[in-house]
Structure 1
Amino acid sequence: MDHRALNRPNRPNRLNRPNRPNRDNRLNRLRLTRLAAPAVAALVALTAGCTGSTVQGRPGASGLRDPYFPKAGNGGYQVDHYALDLGYRPADRQLTGTAVITARAEQTLSSFNLDLSGLRVDAVTVEGEPARYNRTGRELTVRPRKDLGKGEVFRAEVRYSGTPRPLTDADGSQEGWITTADGAVAVGEPVGSMTWFPGNHHPSDKASYDITLTVPQGYEAVSNGELASRRDTGDGRTAFAWHSAEPMASYLATAAIGKFKVATSRTSSGIGVYNAVAPGEEARSAAALGRLPEVVEWGAGRFGPYPFATVGTIVVPDGTLPYALETQTKPVYSGAPSVELTVHELAHQWFGDSVSPKSWKDMWLNEGFATYAEWLWSEDHGGPGAQKRFDALLAGDTSFEGADAAHWDAFPPAAPPGPEDISEAPVYYRGAMVLQRIRQEAGDERFFDLLRGWAADHRHGNASTADFTAYAQQRTGRDLKKVWDVWLYGEDSPKP
């Protein structure tokens, strides 16, 4: 995750963390299949008809074998769209939800999996027909009444309810559905989104979203994209409908519910701004949020056009989270952000959100780029430039970055040792130093052309480290093999 300030607010520090709790990765015992009462007769008929001679499909894989999170995501299909209709009661922390998932089968499917942690599944249909399903750990296996053909677009609907619970990451921090004093906030990196909606929870499967949040009157409910409507439901509640047309990885989806103070405006180029700030955080947030439009326009100048239709901020009460997260179009901050942190999270809208990693091993393409954006902002606004910050780190001077950068050379940024390391200092700082080395080799003109070209040519897609190294070689026309060997993949600490 991004900027996990476990020891210092608003900075990425995971180096001096407490002992991490052991994670129990064993699957829970198989739960009994739940049958929707009205569909019992149809399901009996289905069971009778499913003989070995008639079933042509095969089950979709229950994980994508990500190097660090092998059970994350699911095989056999790609999601096109999520329509989430959620109701939440802060008083008793009860969530009710209906998820309609529109997907395309990539093989003939006899069954497919959705990632879902906790919560009670009340009913499942596929193409309007009741479907059999069962739960095993964090896997919801769905068996449609009929096999799904390769290339077939299908709709699966899951109705569910319960009290969402957060997950504990490999590094000991929490993600998922997090309760606050007056509501809740959902943060999903890397797999926490499965705590509040079923889906294909891996960054390689991006989709468009419509998220409707219905909450008691007096509460605000904020999510990604644009606010399509806000209406009184007539039963003491308000429904907020949010629309995200651009593809989004599920870990970047958010839902924030609370007594927020909302302010709207526009950037100089006309991009809508929507800021939601928790009570008590308004005054301290004013300076950074006041410069948000400026930061967006600066980023457009450096990296190319802003990749989304809207931009904004969610500030939850200080202490809610030990980190900030670049949730798409509306980064989440725990307490008032600094201008520098705002620059970092908004840079992610280009690098991480629009251009998303193919796997969690590619995190430096998120964090190294966003950290380098901080260096560029400083360079363009009278502070120490990227070369000065590079030289300082290389000399062991962390005065510009803070103590959390001390172990920037602990491992190569393209090869974190394990899942607990994907947001450690080398991914941020040595990742940024890789970019500065490219700049040294290529010169400013070709380097900044590379940044803009990378953001444009991979807009709203996914990319790997191998994709970037090949692209950088081609775009700059330089042989960058030594940069990759020493800085990106080298096990030894680079020398001055």
Structure 2
Amino acid sequence: MEVVVDLKPSRIGPAVLLAAAMVWSAGSPAAPFAPRGPADPVYPALGNAGYDVQRYDLDLTYRAGTRTVDATAEVTARAGQRLPSFELDALGLDVHAVLVDGAPAAFRAHDEKLTVLPRSAVRPGALMRVSVRYTVDPHAALAHTGWVRTADGFALAGQPDGAHTVFPCNDVPSDKAQFSVRITAPDNLTGVASGALTGTGSSGGQTTRTYVSRDPIATELLQVSVGTYTVRQQQGPGGLPLRDVVPTARAAATEPALALTAGQLGWLEQRLGPFPFETYGLLPADTDDPAAFDFTGLETQTLTLYKPGFLLQPEAKIGSHMVHELTHSWFGDSVTPQTWADLWLNEGHADYYGLLYRYERGWPDSSGFTTLEARMKDTYARGDQWRHDSGPVAAPNAANLYDSQRYLGGVLALYALQQEVGDQVFNRIEREFLKRFHNGNASTRDYIATASQVAGRDLGPFLTAWLYGDRTPPMPHHPDWTVTPAAGQQRAFAAVPRGSATL
């Protein structure tokens, strides 16, 4: 029997709020140095050193009249060094007060940071609790945002660098943490979040629901949504609880798509092992702002977000993409990239299994191919041009992070490995990698090391050439495959919308 404790953010009284609203301006004395973390190679402005986040307790109240959110975020973190001050990633948040271990702290918002100056330095090894009270407008005009504005609420799409526009955090994939979310909304709306529902209460025309994650979540993978929803419960393989959250007006129309999940789970579990989380489900958004939805699906943990209308199409149109997003539960959510340079581990694997699922069923892909070998031969011919235009598979930058090189380029590297070591060894590599880094982070180098250990030989030179080389290596067992020489002039590279697949 599992006993769930409802951990709530600290309630901050009015008197404390007044004392805590200590904001220093650009002209105020400078705060002590706040340590920055090892820079992410793709998003170097994000991430903070000096502490390791253990959990986030979020308390969000949706104000339907203003369509704004009043929030308290409590960040529990262990200090890795003495911290006279520290920083959280935050952008577009109207911060009202900050407490550190219950005591008011001075703070300043600047760039994409919230710098906090506690009354006394946090000791090395200490567990600090940082409470931030703020208001945020999901409709604010930001250059980038983690909010998806829907017809009567919102959803979250924090990948890759938008979570800190929703809540103050250490917004890097390497600092995964536990989450609890309390979401309050008018009674006619439903609030949902990643994890399992642990409590519901109503008062004054408002309903509060509490969700707790069993497993750690990277900041960019958190889902919280409010809307006019119908929650559909079913069972997957082995009794796994499945929870789909669908706009009530389209609940009946989405039933055929929702019925596919259980079979897709069984198919993937045969290849990757047991599903890694406590539940899974789909969340097709109902947005009034199509421009805010620049992806087809996004693998927010335990509750995958989909663009409006996508799941209303026939199975042959959506099945492989559904498997792509479901594969992310293993590659991306359970095993999260160490840095954004390792994105191919997510997208290459998701496309690989999505394509296998498609071809087993005889569905032509978007290019008309019906076998993985035919698709890979075509992709191989483009290899040098893609490397010229978009860099090696495992060396992206912010501008080309979601180019096809991370998707089909990643599939090509996996296909080359499978050709080199054979099906049995390749399948053992996949399962060992997932087992070894379950609920953690892994880098490209970690994948290479795992592959070498499982294969019993050094695959470093082979995989390094495929993942970091400037030229496309020979494809094992296919000496007749040729690469088209790259054009000298860089061509416009076809980008894949974030969270989408090239299936």
TM-score (norm 2): 0.81
- Look up the equivalent residue of 1:340 and give its one-letter code: S
SS at match of 1:420: coil
> Structure 2 matches for 1:19-58, cutoff 5 A?
36-38=17-19
Match of 1:177 in 2: 147
The reply to whether residue 222 of structure 1 matches residue 192 of structure 2 is yes
Aligned to 2:336: 356
Q: Which amino acid aligns with 1:310?
A: T
Residue among 156, 168, 171 paired with 1:186: 156
Following the alignment from structure 1 to structure 2, what is the Cα–Cα distance between the partners of residues 43 and 301? Answer: 55
Contact residue 118 and residue 164 of structure 1 kept, 8 A: no
| SS state at 2:87 partner | strand
Does the 8 Å CA contact 2:283/2:304 hold for their aligned counterparts?
yes
Q: What is the CA deviation profile of residues 286-333 of structure 1, one whole-angstrom value per residue up to 9, with x for unaligned ones?
A: 333211111122222111111111111110026451212110111100
Distance 1:457 1:379 in 2: 29
**What corresponds to 1:475 in structure 2?**
454
2:109 to 135, 147, 151: 135
Cα displacement (A) at 1:375 = 2.2
Please state if 1:393 is matched with 2:395: no
Over 3 Å counting, the alpha-carbon distance change for 1:43 and 1:393 in structure 2 is closer
Shift of 1:481: 4.2
Q: One-letter code of the match for 1:276?
A: V
- Give the alignment partner of residue 345 of structure 1, picking from 325, 328, 344: 325
Who is 2:407 aligned against? 428
Letter in 2 for 1:389: R
Offset, 1:285? 3.1
Q: Which runs of 5+ in 2 are unaligned?
A: 1-15, 312-317, 364-369, 475-480, 482-503
SS at 1:363 equivalent: helix
In structure 2, C-alpha distance between the alignment counterparts of 1:385 and 1:479, rounded to whole Å: 30
1:493, distance to aligned residue in structure 2 (A): 4.2
Q: How has the CA–CA distance of structure 1 residues 167 and 379 changed in structure 2, closer, same or farther, with 3 Å as cutoff?
A: farther
Mapped pair 1:327 → 2:300 = yes
Please give the secondary structure, in 2, of the residue aligned with 1:178. strand
What is the distance in 2 between the residues matched to 1:77 and 1:486?
36
Q: 1:374 aligns with which of 334, 350, 354?
A: 354
Q: Which residue identity is paired with 2:52? A: Q
- Classify the secondary structure of the residue corresponding to 1:428: helix
Q: Can you list the C-alpha shifts for 1:90-134, whole angstroms capped at 9, x where unaligned?
A: 331111001111110011111110111112111111111111111
Aligned to 2:76: 102
| Secondary structure of the structure 2 residue equivalent to 1:158 | strand
- What are the residue-to-residue correspondences of 1:280-319 with 2, within 5 Å? 280-317=249-286, 319=290
Matches within 5 A, 1:200-279: 200-232=170-202, 234-279=203-248
CA gap 1:68/1:43 in 2 versus in 1, 3 angstroms: closer
| CA distance in structure 2 between the partners assigned to 1:39 and 1:81 by the alignment | 22
Does structure 2 retain, via aligned residues, the 8 Å contact 1:260–1:279?
yes
Runs of 4+ in 1 over 6 A off after TM superposition: 166-169
SS of the residue corresponding to residue 247 of structure 1 reads coil
Residue type at the aligned position of 1:370: A
Distance 2:422 2:271 in 1: 15
C-alpha change, 1:365 and 1:43, in structure 2 (3 Å) is: closer
Task: Tell me if 1:449 matches 2:428.
Answer: yes
Question: What is the letter of the counterpart of residue 212 of structure 1?
Answer: R
Instruction: Quote the residue 1:462 is aligned against.
Output: 441
Shift in Å at residue 230 of structure 1?
A: 2.3
State the match for 2:3 in structure 1. Answer: none
Kept after mapping to 2: 8 A contact 1:93/1:163: yes
Cα offset for 1:165?
4.7
Task: Indicate if the aligned counterparts of 2:395 and 2:468 stay in contact, CA closer than 8 A.
Answer: yes
Write the distance in 1 (CA, Å) between the matches of 2:122 and 2:268: 44
For 1:229, the aligned partner's letter is G
Amino acid at match of 2:56: Y
Find the aligned partners of 1:262 and 1:408 in 2 and give their Cα distance. 44
Please state whether the residue corresponding to 2:216 is helix, strand or coil: strand
Amino acid at match of 1:298: W
Matched with 1:30 is none
1:288, 1:342 within 8 Å by CA — same for their partners in 2? Answer: no
How much has 1:70 moved relative to structure 2?
A: 0.9
Give the C-alpha shift of residue 274 in structure 1.
0.7
Q: Kindly provide the CA deviation profile for residues 186-227 of structure 1, in whole angstroms up to 9, marking residues without a partner as x.
A: 110112111111111110100000011101111111110111
Q: CA RMSD in A?
A: 2.6
In 1, the alpha carbon distance for the partners of 2:61 and 2:304 equals 22
Whole-angstrom distance in 1 between the partners of 2:140 and 2:45: 18
Q: TM-score, normalization: structure 1? A: 0.82
Does structure 1 conserve the Cα–Cα contact (< 8 Å) formed by 2:184 and 2:208?
yes
Q: Secondary structure at the match of 1:201?
A: coil
Contact 1:484 / 1:490 at 8 angstroms: preserved in 2? Answer: no
Alignment check: 8 A CA contact 2:87 2:115 kept:
yes
Count the aligned residue pairs: 436
Report if aligned partners of 2:194, 2:302 keep a CA contact under 8 Å in 1: yes
Q: Separation in 1 of the partners of 2:377 and 2:254?
A: 32
Query: Which residue number corresponds to residue 403 of structure 1?
Result: none
Equivalent pair of 2:393/2:410 in contact (CA under 8 Å): yes
- For residues 360 and 121 of structure 1, what CA distance do their matches in structure 2 show? 28
CA distance in 2, matches of 1:118, 1:279: 31
Which amino acid is the alignment partner of residue 63 of structure 2?
R
Whole-Å Cα distance in 2 between the matches of residues 266 and 241 of structure 1? 22
Kindly indicate whether the alpha-carbon contact (under 8 Å) linking 1:79 and 1:205 is maintained by their aligned counterparts in 2. yes
- Which residue is 1:195 aligned to? 165
Give the 3 Å change call, closer, same or farther, for CA 408–224 of structure 1 in structure 2: farther
**Using a 3 Å threshold, how does the CA distance of structure 1 residues 152 and 307 change in structure 2: closer, same or farther?**
same
Aligned identity (percent) is 36
> Alpha-carbon deviation of 1:423?
1.0
| Mapped pair 1:122 → 2:60 | no
1:477: Cα distance to partner?
Answer: 2.0
| TM-fit CA distance, 1:485 | 4.2
Alpha-carbon spacing, 1:265–1:395, altered in 2? closer, same or farther (3 Å): same
Alpha carbons 1:119, 1:164 under 8 Å: kept = no
The higher-RCO structure (CA 8 Å, 6+ apart) is 1
How many angstroms apart in 2 are the aligned matches of 1:380 and 1:454? Answer: 25
Task: Give yes or no for contact 2:319–2:358 (8 Å, CA) kept in 1.
Answer: no
The 1:104–1:366 alpha-carbon spacing in structure 2 relative to 1, beyond 3 Å, is: same
CA distances 1:241-294 after superposition (whole Å, capped 9, x unpaired): 111120110000121111122201111311111101124544553333211111
Describe the SS at the equivalent of 1:269. helix
